[in-house]
Structure 1
């Protein structure tokens, strides 16, 4: 039975890497809160302390509308993982019109705070597409031109009467300082959000290229397996005929060699069947279900048989392990890790298994030379090999892609006392049939 759907409420630290629109809308909301506070403070100071009569009721309506706008934006942000470009454009357009209304009620173009239009244009240049930016520029310019002719004039009386120009100079300085501070505070994180989105898109493009590479390798391996199947079958038939030839049956040495050749052919056929199975073919049989311990020990036993003399030890933490689906790709991934350790010159390999509530941890540690700094920086990329062999580096590349397909991850490091360690983490929700409570980790 599927679990009931639950609406997720995202915290800022949990936003997806590509939700740059959402982060940018959150910054606009913060900027609007500052604008509301600044407008209310400026209106009250100007009206009550400086003695410049303003239409208080009308001017306070604009920040009230902005407050409701912010509340609505926050409600949308709690339920959405990203914000459309058109929504950012409308948000900036609202701020331009709100500023225009306040300027109209407080002197129009003679108000030094008219330069705040530049903040909206700068944000639009960073956030919006080209046509949208020019839309903000056109609306801001039209509003500024209108305010030169249509506005409510300021009425200055008392001690400030006759000092309107001095007030304009002071206001211009305050406005320019505000613009500089706001641009630093908000354009910088907006640019960072855009850079993170571009980096995320670059990672997606690289992942797509790697997956295409994997598909091509799978097709090549599958084709080679099919092509090799026919001559291997012919060799198996010939060896079967040789076994029954009188001259070979009378010679014990020849008969033993034929039997060894038959065993080698059978092993080649088993390897080709595994290649086809990993490539997605020949999967008519039901998937095998086995306990984790049995699965790992079977891999180790098979690898020891193929690599006589290599030292391999399996360590299991004191945990209860669930049953898993013995996917051949996991088996092949672990075999690749063991093969890489042996080919790197390790004489002692330790495969450590542990688990916690969410993850199955399988680490392969060896006493070889370890990874070089350059190799650690490029680990998991195709054709990055520490063995200096042409065409090498595909083993770890395949392991990384297996982990990624299953929702897991790979960590590669060097041990404090030498040697390399590669840790495979697989989500129990993807590989286990039952998930008993467990704790602990690979030491």
Structure 2
């Protein structure tokens, strides 16, 4: 399930991310600013501007906004192509205004950064690169071909060539830097949002399985007595119907089907009794349950449960919360996937803290990504032997992210390390040479208060 989530969540990343109304409002703000700048420049500072052409440029933006408002609903979300064309129109309109109003002698040339920054935040890399290249082309054209700014006495506003080049260079660097920075931040936010959604889906699935198993367990408990009665009565009928073989065969069939119902309910209800009827369990039971799906995958899983200090021999009874079980299960799965032959699951405790440590004898975490373990969508190139060992693994880091997030929600502090130097030759490595994941809880976060002990009284289901 985990390895399939990234493709599902990222399939339409970058598309339909912004409403049309948002870009319309931004354009109205730009139009208001352009009109104000033109009026102040011409009326207050007495600059001679081609007002007709400037009005035409601003009028195109006004007309475009009016058409969009009239043709589409305000809550329409733009596709990738529609958003790109909208930003391209804004870039072209702004570049045309700059050519009419002094080129790079106009300080408002810095606004060419806006469309590229918006594109980097919400569009795909290809669209952003194309828009950035067009923005650089536009500012380059505006540096060479433009209508100079003239004062009322006819003199031109002239700036040194070095200053013009420096202004051009600063805008180009700004396009590159802000584009890269905005895209990096937006991508991380999008990945984090998608990963948190995957975490919520995993936790919801675990909770549903827990609830469903509990219902099955309760049904098995309630149906146990009627099935036992059916079996007893059918056995008596078998003994009494020796002279009537046909009826005796029917009685045997009834007993066999009662046994079958009992076995089915017992198998279905085993996990449910653990999950619902026992809200709390010993630390060893919780760890064994978390590792249970991976015990028969060809790797040896050894368990050890010891107190850290003398005087704390009694194993703690902890809450059996779905997020803890699912998080630990993901960690055990990761260890089993990459172990050569053995995984060690250890539980340690004192009166104040509980420690769970999962170690394997594999290659360990790659040194290049060990500092980023727990981040979602961490990609790492896999070697051929690794790909053969785990063909379905996508290397996204999403499973560890889910485990880390769920366990930290329960109060755990997680650390990731390697059991030994990964560059040592195999003959010099200890048995526990692979990855080491340690989760540490305050005992108060896991151990239920004494008043909550006991299972309570069974209640009858009412139809």
TM-score using structure 1 length: 0.42
TM-score using structure 2 length: 0.41
Whose relative contact order is higher, 1 or 2, with alpha carbons under 8 Å and at least 6 apart? Answer: 2
